[in-house]
Amino acid sequence: MKKNIMRLAAFAAIAALALGMGAQTAATGATSKKLVWALEFKTKNAKPSSAVFSYDVGGGGWGNLEHQAYVDTNVRTDSVAQGNLVFKATKYEPNINEDIYYECPIATPGSACEFLSSRIHTKGKLAFQYGRLEARIKNPKGDGTWPAFWMLGNDFPANQWPNSGEIDIMEGKGANPWTIWGTVHGPGYFGGDGITGTLALDKPVHSTYNVYAIEWFPNKINWYINNKLFHTVTPKSVGANKWVFNKPYFMILNLAMGGRFTGDLDPDLKSATMYVDYIRYYTINGQGKVTGTAAAIKAGKPTK
């Protein structure tokens, strides 16, 4: 996703902690993966952990011409046995003559936003460098929906986008529900010129859960859906431009509605929902680390 400006909550003080032990290990061939941090969302009807996540709040998508305002009320866990973190975009119809309302850069009366949704991030609390980061997600249904699981360089906003770098692990377009996009943005390759790979699936992504992942190494990032490799980026991919991916990145999840990437919204769409079953982070052959506050690392410490 193309972002020009991003409001961030006040950053928590960071302890320079790294976690890479006491967790599950799985091996396939010559590759050994060790689970070192995870969120499974088993607590019922709860807001995202404040130890791990902060909210972005505001309207318009920070340069993307999106139709939603982000608020801190449209994401929480559900009550099913599996456990999900649920992002819900709901129709927003303020009385523009009487209400104080959220504005978006769109052609509506009073430029009022059309939906409320949520975006959460780990900036100032948790960052990842190398290894495998994955989430099991069921995407929303409806033309104009724009779900995303992505990362920004941990030096943002001091180092402004796109120089900070961006890794889009998963983006979806509601009007094309069989296809997923994986992209990097950086200096000289951003917005519509981001380096992108796609994969078309045999079922609409709103009909089932899929596991979206990157496996990230110095000078290389691989993208996977359900363990199927579909995109690889290396310094050669960015040509004469700067490779900005050998450093820590923080994580973001959101459900946008409309905007430059996804196109027009279905005028009859009243709501949309994205379900996140889990988020898991592994080292690969001992490579990779998660750093951050003691509370954020403890919140994701594997129990097995």
With respect to residue 265, please indicate whether it lies within any of the assigned structural domains: yes
Least confidently predicted of 18-22, 137-141, 213-217, 257-261: 18-22
Mean pLDDT of 214-237: 98
What are residue 126's phi and psi, to 5 degrees? Answer: -155, 140
CATH of the domain at 223: 2.60.120.200
Q: Pick the catalytic residue from 66, 114, 134, 166.
A: 166
With respect to residue 9, please indicate whether it lies within any of the assigned structural domains: no
pLDDT at 28: 41
166 is catalytic: yes
With respect to residue 8, please indicate whether it lies within any of the assigned structural domains: no
With respect to residue 135, please indicate whether it lies within any of the assigned structural domains: yes
pLDDT at 304: 66
What are residue 25's phi and psi, to 5 degrees? Answer: -125, 135
Percent of the chain at pLDDT > 70 equals: 90
DSSP letter string, 230-250: EEEE-GGGGTTSPP--SS-EE
Chain segment 114-163, per-residue pLDDT in tens: 999 999 999 999 999 999 999 999 999 999 999 999 999 999 999 999 99
pLDDT at 303: 82
pLDDT at 79: 86
- Look at residue 293 and tell me whether its pLDDT is greater than 70: yes
40 is catalytic: no
Mean pLDDT of 9-34: 48
Percent of the chain at pLDDT > 90 equals: 86
Domain count, the chain: 1
- Look at residue 91 and tell me whether its pLDDT is greater than 50: yes
With respect to residue 143, please indicate whether it lies within any of the assigned structural domains: yes
Task: Measure Cα distances from 233 to 129, 216, 236 in Å.
Answer: 16, 10, 8
pLDDT at 24: 40
User: What letter would DSSP give residue 142?
Assistant: S
* C-beta of residue 84 within 8 angstroms of C-beta of residue 139: no
With respect to residue 281, please indicate whether it lies within any of the assigned structural domains: yes
With respect to residue 2, please indicate whether it lies within any of the assigned structural domains: no
pLDDT at 48: 97
Q: Pick the catalytic residue from 66, 134, 171, 215.
A: 171
With respect to residue 5, please indicate whether it lies within any of the assigned structural domains: no
pLDDT at 11: 34
Taking the CB of residue 243, how many other CB atoms lie within 10 A of it?
Answer: 18
Of residues 25 and 39, more confidence is placed in 39
User: Containing domain of residue 218, as a range?
Assistant: 17-299
pLDDT confidence band for 10 (50 / 70 / 90): very low
pLDDT at 63: 82
Report the chain's mean pLDDT, rounded to a whole number. Answer: 91
